[in-house]
Chain A
Amino acid sequence: MAAVQDGPMELDTEKETKPEILSDGTSKLSGNAASGTLSSSPLTAGGAPKQEDQQTLIAVLQFLRRNKLSESVEILRREAGLEDQEDSQTLDGSGGGKGDRDGGEANSLLSRVSITSAAAPQSTLTPITVKRANEQLDVSVVLSAYSQQGDPSLYQVYYSGLKNFIESVLDCHRAELSQLFYPLFVHMYLELVYNNHENEAKAFFEKFGGDQECYYQDDLRVLCGLTKKEHLKGNEVLLDFRTSRFVLRISRDSYQLLKRHLQERHNNQIWNIIQEHLYIDIFDGMPRSKSQIDSMSGSFAGEARREVNKVKVFHGLLKEPEIEVPLDDEEDEAENEEGKPKKKKTKKDSMGSKSKKQDPNAPQQNRIPLPELKDSDKLDKIMYMKESTKRIRLGPENLPSICFYSFLNAYQGLTAVDFTDDSSLLAGGFADSTVRIWSVTPKKLRKVKSAGELNLIDKESDDVLERIMDEKTASESKILCGHSGPVYSVSFSPDRNYLLSSSEDGTVRLWSLQTFTCLVGYKGHNYPVWDTHFSPFGYYFVSGGHDRVARLWATDHYQPLRIFAGHLADVTCTRFHPNSNYVATGSTDRTIRLWDVLNGNCVRIFTGHKGPVHSLAFSPNGKFLASGSTDGRVLLWDIGHGLMIGELKGHTDTIYALKFSRDGEILASGSMDNTVRLWDSTKAFDDVETDDFTAATGHIHLPDNSQELLLGTYHSKSTPVTHLHFTRRNLLLAAGGYSSQ
């Protein structure tokens, strides 16, 4: 909802900014962003996209007009080349529109959209070709679909008839067909509610609510509170359930069985629901087992469609562009101080091997324009190289040491922590709206002198960088004030000059770590921003929030460059891929999506979590993704194949921190249950055999080997683990706020 209304605001500026940075995909993105949809249409929608675009544009136009943004209307119309045919439509909703959340208004808007789109043949009856982009539009269509009701008292009969049937089929089909229960249950319940059969709905819920899988319990709780038609309008979760088709993956045999049964019994009610609200992804081959199904299900909208995860993802790492630089420097250094030849040699080797390695999966170097390296960045790279030669090789035999930073007296509530890559600074976000920065090395934090004082400095001197610092301000920690709500995430820029913080107040702020002041407040989310993360190359950053979209920003642009819309609920965590070409977002809808920064498309949808996803981590080689959620499980994903490849059970509470060691051998997870756990990620990735079949169907059978993979559990003293970080030498740093109770 929010996305629908936020999107257009940025539309114009977006159009201006984008060409500077990225050359293609502009119009597609803007169109899709405006409609708040997943931007997959250019790739998959076949013949429909033009029509769709037009519809969305019309919707946008109407919105703009209603908000009296006539200039924008003009510009948009000119650019999109729309005729004036839409003028005839009156704006009946314009009078009442004041609140952002006015459900009725949104409905009226959307109903008009659906009127205009009525001309386009809605492909709702041929499920396999239906695209999300369509579905998002017609809220009222979907709701009104409920008007073709059957006898409310017969619903229980229908449902229990199906239940009996499914319970009586062969075991191999039963697990698959059982997937139907939950979506059917929800849809039938909503249908009853929509048609004002409150008592029947309640009875229906009472009777069958307990049969549903336990991981749907949270949703059922929402559902059971919903007993009136009016409630349906305001409830986003349920609206999403309506508008997005629940995806089920069923083998052909099982599907035939179901079809035959329903046709024999003339059970049209259920058949209609299946036809209209479910998307059944039929595959050939063996039916899946219960455990296979359970491992993938649990999200708001069922499993991901197979074809969604078929797009090629360039998950390789970028070639280190500055490889020559350290070499040169190294030579310089050697010349200068007669460096030991042995030392030099080893370094050359390590870098040589790196440069030779050409990752076939790597994206083009300039696929995404990246900022050029400054001298200071190069120096930092050299430092990094040096440090990494001293890195400890970790493994099951050689576990990392863990240094725990406890925040004491944090009654303001520690909500977020970040370390700089070189582990010299630590930032904490607090519920009292402040951000605090500590230096964890003996080097103190100093501000740059004021402008007047800076004038007096001799700019030619060698130590000018030292001179500009004000010694009087040296301290171990600094407080950054500016937010007006709890700070939910902080992220350092790779060059340690900036810090990002996102807050409940709906803004993302960029702070300078030279002057310790706020530089920019990025507005756009309007609702709490749950997470923000800097790109590994700096300049770009991504944020995600309650408005259910993730946004890609560049530090020098006031408006977002991309809007990644598609999640059905809050975007809770965001992470950049190590090659900066992709962004992963985790959401309360229990899915993880991978977005292409270049064109804003969603290229992967990972389902399987049974609770909101609260942490994400890419493996250093970019091939794998780990995600942790409130259900206490860590799931491992193969990005290239789009598969779940592991499940790590052990935590008993939400996992807020995940981090791979620098070489990727160890995965560390930190949780609300006051533990840090170490997992053998090498083994986890090696154990998975990805033959062609599993890769093609995605029916992975997960080995239940969490206990073997668990290398260690370390309890802290009533200190939830908020953040984990591996230093360049593979020492694990953990941080959390000590709670005295």
Chain B
Amino acid sequence: MAEERRQKLCSVILPTESMKAMAESVGVGSLQEDSCLALSEEVSYRIKEIAQDALKFMHHGKRRKLTTGDIDHALKLKNVEPLYGFQSQEFIPFRFASGGGRELHFYEEKEVDLSDIINTPLPRVPLDVSLKAHWLSIDGVQPAIPENPPPVPKEQQKTDSTEPLKAVKPGQEEEGSIQTKGQGASSAEVKGSSAKMVPLKMRMKPRSTHELSVEQQLYYKEITEACVGSCEAKRAVCVCNKCYLFLFQVRVNVVQNNLALLIYLMRMVKALMDNPTLYLEKYLHELIPAVVTCIVSKQLCLRPDVDNHWALRDFAARLMAQSCKTFSTTTNNIQSRITKTFTKALLDDKTQWTTRYGCIAGLAELGHDVIKTLIIPRLSVEGARIKAVMDGPVVSNIDKIGADHVQSLLLKHCASVVAKTRPLPDMVDQYKVDYGYLGTMLCSHVVKARAQAAFQAQTVNRTTLTITQPRPTLSVSQSGLSTSSGSRAPSIIKVPSSLTLMSTRPGTPTQPSPPATKYIVMATSAGAASTQQVRSVLHIHRVHMIVHSKVISVPRILIATPGLISPNIKVFKYTFILQ
């Protein structure tokens, strides 16, 4: 430190060569070494003096850059004539020349032909100074409008949240206070974790006032529109800004059982996670409850018997697994906490089928190890439970569907694990002994899984989420429910009319796609051989979301509706580019 300072303060003087060059430029040929030395000291001192004065002008001009104008004013203070011909450009090009063992930097003064100047067309008149007003803050909260800067850069967010005990940086406090305003109770943790160990004086604002602020309402509307609507540009602006609003939406929509919107929101969360420029760690406490809700909630839609909320659960489960993978650290222990939550719910006898399904899905997505240690041992118990529903007296249809789903889910996930862990041969009886009711089916699945292994490796994309449905259910696009505002929710996935054929259940109308919607249908067959085995039609929806002007191709959901459709229909791959 001291070294550094000393170096900075060390008096620097111009080299005597400069003096000689300057002397030559004004016509003094031979300058003695002594006079050069004396001159250079004097000149250096004067230059410093002028620079110091010029700095004053810079400060009063409220600028960060010293301009040539400042130097002129400083010269004027000293009763010296200003230097003409230098403008305050961003960049003053100095030319370099060397010769005779000397090096010289100089400012090239071109000869200008007056007639050239006269003949050149006049440049455009510069825009006049104008005044523009915008809201920097409304009741202490900075609105996210283009006039205001985007949120704090990721690096700073990272340092802020990973090193909360470090000296509080400017802006961090604000981060906390904004959230306090925006999020009410939940921000307590944020502040607590990031804003040092100072005695916290919470500034709680009743949520109602927050929601009622007109700007916030507008913002909410805008965000919803941008997310759900079809304008890419808008989405680009809005999606990135705040994720807490989405999570707020999740809560709203869970309450309202708006399946379609929930699916969008989950996709959005995925998009957020995939966005490398966002630093989500800070919002995990907001994100995870929302996602978990979507996995294990008892009811996610109005008509649980017909709507495909299972797909949502699967997708959310996968999302959960992904966030565990990305964000779990030794300090936050996300994975173990999540696992604990799921297991607890799974072990509870009273858990509903929907929740049970969610728990299993959530656990299954966490990887083979989890399946092996937590699910496979439970197979026989679950099998018995499923059997009780399937074979028992006629209970509600919902339970039956639920049991059915759980069964297929278990089979699907366990099969691959069992296939890997269990040595050949696959004996049905042995399976029955080991896994109870599900043994038989598991066995056949395992056999299939072993056979499919090779095929799957080549066809199924790693990032695709495959939801295999044992029986025909509805695709996502059919659940167009009204939003809170009462208007019809625009669907993200515009299903072209030709595809409605695949909707197998009669009586549930598919939403006709608006004529303006553009979509491109790409690729057709993906191998005839596979269709026989998969027995399913895959709709591959690829949703492009632009986040921070980066195209991220994210939730790619394969919704399989196997069953009634003739098995020789080829696998289609549709890419919808939402416009």
**Which chain A positions have C-beta within 8 A of B130?**
407-409
- Return the contact of B11 from the options A227, A406, A654 (Cβ within 8 A): A227
Comparing A288-296, A349-357, A597-605, A671-679, the segment that makes contact with chain B is: A671-679
Q: Is there an interface contact between A734 and B203, defined as CB atoms closer than 8 Å?
A: no
Cα–Cα, bound, A741→B90 (Å): 10
**Cβ-closest chain A residue relative to B7:** A210
Task: Kindly provide the distance from the CB of B280 to the nearest chain A CB, expressed in whole angstroms.
Answer: 21
Q: With A399-B137, A401-B135, A431-B69 in contact, do A716 and B149 touch (Cβ < 8 Å)?
A: yes
**Cβ-closest chain B residue relative to A656:** B62
**Cβ-closest chain A residue relative to B134:** A404
**Which chain B positions have C-beta within 8 A of A402?**
135-137
**Which chain A positions have C-beta within 8 A of B41?**
227-228
Q: With A222-B52, A396-B203, A406-B134 in contact, do A217 and B9 touch (Cβ < 8 Å)?
A: yes
User: Does B97 lie at the interface of the complex (its beta carbon under 8 Å from any beta carbon of A)?
Assistant: no
Task: Kindly provide the distance from the CB of A601 to the nearest chain B CB, expressed in whole angstroms.
Answer: 27
Task: Kindly provide the distance from the CB of A300 to the nearest chain B CB, expressed in whole angstroms.
Answer: 14
Q: List 6 A-B contacts (CB under 8 A).
A: A228-B45, A399-B140, A400-B140, A402-B136, A486-B61, A715-B142
Cα–Cα, bound, A673→B170 (Å): 10
Q: Is there an interface contact between B9 and A397, defined as CB atoms closer than 8 Å?
A: no
User: Does A220 lie at the interface of the complex (its beta carbon under 8 Å from any beta carbon of B)?
Assistant: yes
**Which chain A positions have C-beta within 8 A of B57?**
486, 504, 528
Cα–Cα, bound, A656→B41 (Å): 36
- Return the contact of A485 from the options B48, B73, B129 (Cβ within 8 A): B73
In addition to A401-B140, A486-B60, A717-B148, 11 A-B residue pairs with Cβ atoms within 8 Å of each other are A209-B6, A210-B3, A400-B140, A402-B137, A413-B63, A485-B73, A528-B77, A546-B77, A650-B173, A715-B148, A722-B62
Cα–Cα, bound, A710→B196 (Å): 14
User: Does B56 lie at the interface of the complex (its beta carbon under 8 Å from any beta carbon of A)?
Assistant: yes
- Return the contact of A211 from the options B2, B48, B73, B128 (Cβ within 8 A): B2
**Which chain B positions have C-beta within 8 A of A720?**
62
Cα–Cα, bound, A408→B132 (Å): 7
**Cβ-closest chain A residue relative to B38:** A228
**Cβ-closest chain A residue relative to B127:** A409
Q: With A396-B203, A712-B174, A713-B170 in contact, do A409 and B56 touch (Cβ < 8 Å)?
A: no
Interface residues of B in 440-480 (CB under 8 A from A): none
Task: Kindly provide the distance from the CB of B343 to the nearest chain A CB, expressed in whole angstroms.
Answer: 42
Q: Is there an interface contact between B60 and A530, defined as CB atoms closer than 8 Å?
A: yes
**Which chain B positions have C-beta within 8 A of A100?**
79
**Which chain A positions have C-beta within 8 A of B77?**
527-528, 546
Q: Is there an interface contact between A712 and B137, defined as CB atoms closer than 8 Å?
A: yes
Q: Is there an interface contact between A410 and B129, defined as CB atoms closer than 8 Å?
A: yes
User: Does B59 lie at the interface of the complex (its beta carbon under 8 Å from any beta carbon of A)?
Assistant: yes
Cα–Cα, bound, A414→B62 (Å): 8
**Which chain B positions have C-beta within 8 A of A399?**
137, 139-140
Task: Kindly provide the distance from the CB of A269 to the nearest chain B CB, expressed in whole angstroms.
Answer: 24
Q: Is there an interface contact between B45 and A226, defined as CB atoms closer than 8 Å?
A: yes
User: Does A614 lie at the interface of the complex (its beta carbon under 8 Å from any beta carbon of B)?
Assistant: yes
Q: Is there an interface contact between A101 and B78, defined as CB atoms closer than 8 Å?
A: yes
Which one of B3, B79, B168, B170 has the highest number of Cβ atoms from chain A below 10 Å of its Cβ? Answer: B170
Q: Is there an interface contact between A99 and B44, defined as CB atoms closer than 8 Å?
A: no
Which one of A205, A224, A226 has the highest number of Cβ atoms from chain B below 10 Å of its Cβ? Answer: A224
**Which chain A positions have C-beta within 8 A of B132?**
405-406, 408
**Cβ-closest chain B residue relative to A588:** B56
Q: Is there an interface contact between B2 and A225, defined as CB atoms closer than 8 Å?
A: no
User: Does B131 lie at the interface of the complex (its beta carbon under 8 Å from any beta carbon of A)?
Assistant: yes
User: Does B350 lie at the interface of the complex (its beta carbon under 8 Å from any beta carbon of A)?
Assistant: no
Q: Is there an interface contact between B170 and A675, defined as CB atoms closer than 8 Å?
A: yes
Range of interface residues on chain B?
Answer: 35 or more
User: Does B138 lie at the interface of the complex (its beta carbon under 8 Å from any beta carbon of A)?
Assistant: yes
Q: Is there an interface contact between A206 and B49, defined as CB atoms closer than 8 Å?
A: no
Q: Is there an interface contact between A405 and B9, defined as CB atoms closer than 8 Å?
A: no
**Which chain A positions have C-beta within 8 A of B134?**
403-404, 406
Task: Kindly provide the distance from the CB of B127 to the nearest chain A CB, expressed in whole angstroms.
Answer: 4
User: Does A221 lie at the interface of the complex (its beta carbon under 8 Å from any beta carbon of B)?
Assistant: yes
Cα–Cα, bound, A720→B198 (Å): 30
User: Does A651 lie at the interface of the complex (its beta carbon under 8 Å from any beta carbon of B)?
Assistant: yes
Cα–Cα, bound, A715→B136 (Å): 8
Q: Is there an interface contact between B45 and A227, defined as CB atoms closer than 8 Å?
A: yes
Task: Kindly provide the distance from the CB of B183 to the nearest chain A CB, expressed in whole angstroms.
Answer: 16
In the complex, per-residue mask of B140-180: 1 if CB is within 8 Å of any chain A CB, else 0: 10100001110000000000000000001011011001000
User: Does B99 lie at the interface of the complex (its beta carbon under 8 Å from any beta carbon of A)?
Assistant: no
In the complex, per-residue mask of A186-224: 1 if CB is within 8 Å of any chain B CB, else 0: 000000000000000010011001110010010011101
In the complex, per-residue mask of A567-591: 1 if CB is within 8 Å of any chain B CB, else 0: 0001010000000000000001000
Q: Is there an interface contact between B129 and A406, defined as CB atoms closer than 8 Å?
A: no
User: Does A443 lie at the interface of the complex (its beta carbon under 8 Å from any beta carbon of B)?
Assistant: no
Which one of A530, A674, A722 has the highest number of Cβ atoms from chain B below 10 Å of its Cβ? Answer: A530
Cα–Cα, bound, A100→B78 (Å): 9
Q: With A401-B135, A402-B135 in contact, do A428 and B56 touch (Cβ < 8 Å)?
A: no
User: Does B133 lie at the interface of the complex (its beta carbon under 8 Å from any beta carbon of A)?
Assistant: yes
Q: Is there an interface contact between B131 and A438, defined as CB atoms closer than 8 Å?
A: yes
Q: Is there an interface contact between A225 and B170, defined as CB atoms closer than 8 Å?
A: no
Cα–Cα, bound, A234→B45 (Å): 11
Q: Is there an interface contact between B128 and A409, defined as CB atoms closer than 8 Å?
A: yes
User: Does B527 lie at the interface of the complex (its beta carbon under 8 Å from any beta carbon of A)?
Assistant: no
User: Does B10 lie at the interface of the complex (its beta carbon under 8 Å from any beta carbon of A)?
Assistant: yes
**Which chain B positions have C-beta within 8 A of A405?**
131-133
**Which chain B positions have C-beta within 8 A of A163?**
none
Cα–Cα, bound, A652→B170 (Å): 8
Q: Is there an interface contact between B5 and A210, defined as CB atoms closer than 8 Å?
A: yes
Task: Kindly provide the distance from the CB of B394 to the nearest chain A CB, expressed in whole angstroms.
Answer: 60
- Return the contact of B73 from the options A220, A401, A504, A714 (Cβ within 8 A): A504
Task: Kindly provide the distance from the CB of B172 to the nearest chain A CB, expressed in whole angstroms.
Answer: 9
Q: Is there an interface contact between B131 and A209, defined as CB atoms closer than 8 Å?
A: no
**Cβ-closest chain B residue relative to A211:** B2
In the complex, per-residue mask of A77-104: 1 if CB is within 8 Å of any chain B CB, else 0: 0000000000000000000000111000
Which one of B11, B78, B132, B138 has the highest number of Cβ atoms from chain A below 10 Å of its Cβ? Answer: B11
Cα–Cα, bound, A220→B6 (Å): 10
**Which chain A positions have C-beta within 8 A of B147?**
404, 406, 717
Cα–Cα, bound, A737→B131 (Å): 9
Cα–Cα, bound, A650→B168 (Å): 9
Q: Is there an interface contact between B136 and A734, defined as CB atoms closer than 8 Å?
A: yes
Task: Kindly provide the distance from the CB of B38 to the nearest chain A CB, expressed in whole angstroms.
Answer: 9
In the complex, per-residue mask of B70-100: 1 if CB is within 8 Å of any chain A CB, else 0: 0001000111000000000010000000000
**Cβ-closest chain A residue relative to B177:** A712
Cα–Cα, bound, A540→B170 (Å): 40
Cα–Cα, bound, A702→B3 (Å): 31
Cα–Cα, bound, A530→B56 (Å): 10
Interface residues of B in 110-137 (CB under 8 A from A): 126-137
In the complex, per-residue mask of A484-506: 1 if CB is within 8 Å of any chain B CB, else 0: 01101000000000000000100
**Cβ-closest chain B residue relative to A741:** B90
User: Does B64 lie at the interface of the complex (its beta carbon under 8 Å from any beta carbon of A)?
Assistant: yes
- Return the contact of B79 from the options A101, A528, A674, A722 (Cβ within 8 A): A101
Q: With A225-B48, A228-B45 in contact, do A672 and B62 touch (Cβ < 8 Å)?
A: yes
Cα–Cα, bound, A231→B142 (Å): 52
User: Does A426 lie at the interface of the complex (its beta carbon under 8 Å from any beta carbon of B)?
Assistant: yes
Interface residues of A in 385-442 (CB under 8 A from B): 396-415, 426, 428, 430-431, 436, 438, 440
Task: Kindly provide the distance from the CB of B153 to the nearest chain A CB, expressed in whole angstroms.
Answer: 11
Q: With A101-B78, A217-B5, A707-B198 in contact, do A612 and B170 touch (Cβ < 8 Å)?
A: no
Cα–Cα, bound, A404→B146 (Å): 13
User: Does A60 lie at the interface of the complex (its beta carbon under 8 Å from any beta carbon of B)?
Assistant: no
Task: Kindly provide the distance from the CB of A712 to the nearest chain B CB, expressed in whole angstroms.
Answer: 6
Interface residues of B in 14-46 (CB under 8 A from A): 41-42, 44-45
Task: Kindly provide the distance from the CB of B262 to the nearest chain A CB, expressed in whole angstroms.
Answer: 34
In the complex, per-residue mask of A587-622: 1 if CB is within 8 Å of any chain B CB, else 0: 010000000000000000000000010100000000
Cα–Cα, bound, A206→B8 (Å): 11
In the complex, per-residue mask of A636-662: 1 if CB is within 8 Å of any chain B CB, else 0: 000000000000001111101000000
Interface residues of B in 158-216 (CB under 8 A from A): 168, 170-171, 173-174, 177, 195-196, 198, 201, 203, 205
